[in-house]
Amino acid sequence: MTQNLGLEVPITEAEPDGTPRVTGSAKVVAVWNTRTHEELRFLGWNVPNALKKKHKDPAYPEWVGKPLFSLKKTGERVLGTYKCLLNPSQLWRAEYERQGFPACPASHLASEEQVRLHMRSKHKSEWARLEDDRKERERQEDRDLARKQIEAMAAIADRNGHSEAALAPRNRGGRPRKNQAAEMQSSPE
């Protein structure tokens, strides 16, 4: 069965408080988000409910309480420039194909945070795999750094002529412990 998505303009009237009221039975009606200027389509019977909605997002306090949708275009929508990590145009797409990750056409995300949220909600298993790989790389980098620090400290100690016993932990007084002092005296150097 095919669905008729032809846009029929509803007959509107105003409520006493100025809120528009749809009185016709339109099949699909275009409404615009007043903040993002995004065009959305609602079934005609749902338009009155949509027009009653108000902005609630505390991230945009200047919009809270204002109408969420309008029957008229409210401005030009500005699209983002960030792409999904699984977008076919990304440089690392070949590696993701080897791992069996699907391609995603999303290419107008607003920020890096939106990319992260998109990945977490739309590509859950792929995002989990990428996060595991990132954490493993970080652990390996930490291990490599710790190994280099230990090697550098050992090289400095050898250069200064310190033995391993001299680098051992000392008691609070700064002197070697009694058993360490006896070991140091008895060991031939």
> 5: which DSSP letter?
-
Residue-wise pLDDT tens digits, 63-102: 899 999 999 998 888 888 999 999 999 998 999 999 999 9
Q: Which residues of the chain have pLDDT under 50?
A: 1-11, 26
CA distances from 27 to 1, 70, 185 (A): 16, 17, 97
Nearest in space to 89 (alpha carbons), one of 112, 61, 108? 108
Tell me the C-alpha distance between 44 and 80, whole Å: 30
In sequence order, which residues have a C-beta less than 8 Å from that of residue 110 and are 6 or more positions away? 80, 82
pLDDT at 7: 46
What's the predicted TM-score (pTM) here? 0.49
